[in-house]
């Protein structure tokens, strides 16, 4: 998708078309070229940003899309239908086709803000156009949702365990605000009202080899296990964009793909999983668009 990088910003209409190969930095730069009082609620790291509590998720601000379906047809919102359009806004678009572009809504932002980041206010905005990662490491991410406050004594215990476990770090992402105002079924992303914050568990390392991988994966998995009493239950929910194969995978050409997919699908999508499966079955019945955690199709009737 590298060559699908076109970005068209219409500041007067407060909207834009963004192809799927464009980076967020490129999008922000193109918006800045047209207006210093418009923005888009996307990420300061991939998928997650500071405007979430005011304007919701990126998917809440997508109003059209272009997708190539399993038959090779290029569809927009009108021709794909509302069920598929619903599914590709937070349901893992790669399960349904090849998404070429999204039409987004731009939102008002202050002309000047103060933020704590690694770049000072003299930095040339063109730095946003860089497509080179800051570093290349091995890494693993996991996630949880917290729905009731964790007592102070428990937080102190968790902090102790985190230090004992080695390199695993925590990031707490607060929810609320506009997030709570969108019904859980409005898009496939269900983790809205009732969630205080999301936890990201993060570990990165530079050493290559099986032994290093085993060591560091063991650290993050232990921390994840320690957190069990303090996070969401039935299901223990997870954030889709921190793909975590520990919570389940579907095997290639598996006859039990629905049952296997339900394990991780219920964690990522909660009650929206079954609707996603129905959409998948309708638009890709032979499961051409498959990956280890794709949306499965309904089991065939005997």
Nearest to 87 by CA among 290, 257, 278, 296: 278
36: number of Cβ within 10 Å: 12
- Please say whether the beta carbons of 60 and 54 come within 8 A: no
CA dist 257 and 29 (Å) reads 42
Residues with catalytic annotation? Answer: 242
228: number of Cβ within 10 Å: 10
- Half-sphere CA count of 44, side-chain side, radius 13 A: 10
Nearest to 28 by CA among 41, 19, 10: 41
- Please say whether the beta carbons of 144 and 199 come within 8 A: yes
What does the block give as tokens for 10? 């219409």
Angle at 70 between CA 64 and CA 74, to 5 degrees: 40
The four Cα atoms 289, 290, 296, 298 give a dihedral, to 10 degrees, of 60
Q: What is the DSSP letter of 293?
A: T
The four Cα atoms 285, 291, 296, 300 give a dihedral, to 10 degrees, of 50
CA dist 285 and 289 (Å) reads 10
What does the block give as tokens for 67? 């997708």
- Please say whether the beta carbons of 137 and 51 come within 8 A: no
- Please say whether the beta carbons of 117 and 44 come within 8 A: yes
User: The tokens 């349901």 sit on which residue?
Assistant: 91
């Amino acid at each position: 998708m590298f060559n699908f990088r076109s970005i068209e910003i219409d500041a007067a209409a407060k909207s834009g078309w963004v192809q799927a190969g464009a980076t967020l930095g490129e999008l922000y730069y193109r918006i800045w070229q047209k207006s210093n009082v418009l923005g888009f609620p996307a990420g300061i790291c991939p998928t997650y940003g500071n405007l979430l509590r005011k304007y919701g998720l990126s998917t809440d601000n997508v109003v059209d899309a272009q997708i190539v379906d399993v038959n090779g047809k290029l569809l927009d919102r009108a021709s794909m239908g509302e069920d598929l359009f619903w599914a590709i806004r937070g349901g893992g678009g790669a399960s349904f086709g090849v998404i070429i572009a999204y039409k987004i809504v731009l939102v008002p932002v202050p002309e000047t803000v103060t933020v704590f980041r690694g770049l000072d206010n003299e930095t040339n905005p063109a730095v946003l156009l860089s497509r080179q990662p800051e570093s290349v490491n091995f890494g693993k991410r996991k996630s949880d949702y917290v729905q009731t406050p964790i007592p102070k004594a428990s937080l102190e215990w968790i902090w102790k365990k985190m230090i004992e476990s080695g390199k695993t770090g925590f990031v707490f992402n607060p929810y609320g605000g506009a997030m709570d105002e969108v019904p859980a079924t409005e898009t496939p992303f269900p983790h809205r009202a009732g969630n205080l914050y999301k936890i990201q568990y993060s570990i990165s390392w530079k050493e290559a080899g099986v032994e290093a991988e085993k060591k560091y994966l063991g650290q993050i998995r232990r921390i994840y296990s320690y957190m069990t009493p303090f996070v969401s239950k039935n299901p223990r929910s997870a954030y889709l964009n921190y793909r975590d194969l520990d919570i389940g995978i579907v095997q290639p050409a598996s006859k039990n793909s629905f049952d296997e997919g339900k394990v991780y699908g219920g964690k990522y999508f909660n009650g929206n999983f079954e609707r996603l499966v129905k959409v998948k079955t309708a638009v890709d019945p032979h499961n051409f668009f498959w990956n280890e955690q794709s949306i499965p199709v309904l089991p065939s009737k005997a």
